[in-house]
Chain A
Amino acid sequence: MTNPCAEPLSLATLLAYWLGELDDDAGQQAEEHFFGCAHCSENLDELATLAGTIRSAFASGVLTTVISAAFLERMKQRGMKLREYPVSPGGRAYCTITAADDAVIARLKAPLADVARLDVLRLDETGNVNARHVDVPFDAAAGEVLICPSALAVRTMPAYCETMRLVIVDATSERVLGDYVFDHQPG
């Protein structure tokens, strides 16, 4: 345990520093502070460790995450081996994952202009809702929702048919935007 710092760098500052959001002067000030301060360098180290663990957890397929089209490109640039399944509303994809794949991506095509909130329901073969992803992020201009399910979980799945349902939610009602069927076979 180190001595506390009289004026510690806040989490917001450390985050902004780590992600390159500070201007040059502010970034240099943050560096001068943490270089001379055991307490703040430990906090920065903790943040860096957390960031690194999130990164490695995603890369190793532990997490299920909604991603962006630009992020998908970054995954490819990093050499990740991906299987992409673009599906239109009412469509079906025959999908799998092998040991050589790092991730699979469900690309749910949909008209998203003027949509404020979008939920994703995951239904089993009998139509029961297994999960609901509330208020997923999306880029309306891209016209699709990209879901990267946990590769570790998908690899253990038997032959299985899952429906993903996009639902537009507003203050008073819900409206189904489309169903997307994923017919999974083990790799």
Chain B
Amino acid sequence: MALTAVGPASDDASLVRAIIAAAPDLDRQAEAEICRRLGPRVRLFGLRHLRDAHAAADLVQQVLLMAIEKLRAGALREPDKLASFVLGMSRLTVLDLRRNAARRDALLRQYGDIADIITPAEPAALDQEKLAHCMEGLSERSRSVLVLSFFGEKAAAEIGRELGMSAENTRVVRHRALLALRDCIGIGDGMR
């Protein structure tokens, strides 16, 4: 019988302990909360390293399937290390994803019962019209630096070379432009 005393307010270790305590039954609530919490972080990791939304979604699915598999089996000995455990798994899986696409399908077949809770929804994109309006308010250099940086995910040194600017100046322009853009759009009050 599942133990369902955990939820969004529970810490990672409590979620892990709930899954272990429920065995051989399943604590769906704890598993779902882990997926809800860590799925977006795995996705960000995947976007950063794979630069592809579909590949990042595959990574999320594969990592969370393996993580839940191991948690059910009691393989995580230090429950408070859940985030590090999943990060390590993400790093290995990024390497593995490029080599082997078959394991994901096998896991999906074996653990299809949790497949519906492990894929996080795509985050809502910002309003393009509003973004365009705010981009129009930036200087030409700022707009170019942001587009060149994010369209190809390129570092400041490379963008600077292409636009006849130093890397340091490019970083400064990029940073200020992002702050101005976020202020204009009305997001990210706390991050400087």
Question: Which residues on A sit within 8 Å (CB–CB) of B40?
Answer: 41, 45
Which B142-185 residues have C-beta < 8 A from chain A?
Answer: 143-157, 161-165, 171, 174-175, 178-179, 181-182, 185
| Contact A19:B149 (CB < 8 A) given known A41-B41, A68-B163, A69-B162 | yes
Q: In whole angstroms, how far apart are the Cα atoms of A59 and B151 in the complex? A: 8
Q: In whole angstroms, how far apart are the Cα atoms of A15 and B175 in the complex? A: 8
Per-residue contact bits, chain A 33-67, to B (CB 8 Å; 1 contact, 0 not): 01110100101111111111111111110111111
B164 touches A138 (CB 8 A): yes
A71 touches B87 (CB 8 A): no
B163 is contacted by which of A32, A43, A60, A139 (Cβ under 8 Å)?
Answer: A139
Q: Is the interface of A mostly helix, strand, loop or mixed?
A: helix
Question: Which residues on B sit within 8 Å (CB–CB) of A14?
Answer: 191
Q: How many Å from the CB of B152 to the closest CB on chain A? A: 5
- Name A's B-contacting residues (CB within 8 A): 4, 8, 10-12, 14-15, 17-21, 31-32, 34-36, 38, 41, 43-60, 62-71, 74-75, 133-140, 150
Per-residue contact bits, chain B 69-86, to A (CB 8 Å; 1 contact, 0 not): 000000000000001101
Query: Does B140 interact with chain A (Cβ within 8 Å)?
Result: yes
Q: How many Å from the CB of A25 to the closest CB on chain B? A: 14
Cβ-closest 7 pairs across A and B: A68-B162, A36-B83, A137-B163, A51-B150, A53-B126, A35-B87, A62-B132
Question: Which residues on A sit within 8 Å (CB–CB) of B185?
Answer: 50
B140 is contacted by which of A20, A60, A135 (Cβ under 8 Å)?
Answer: A135
| Contact A70:B178 (CB < 8 A) given known A11-B191, A31-B87, A63-B132 | no
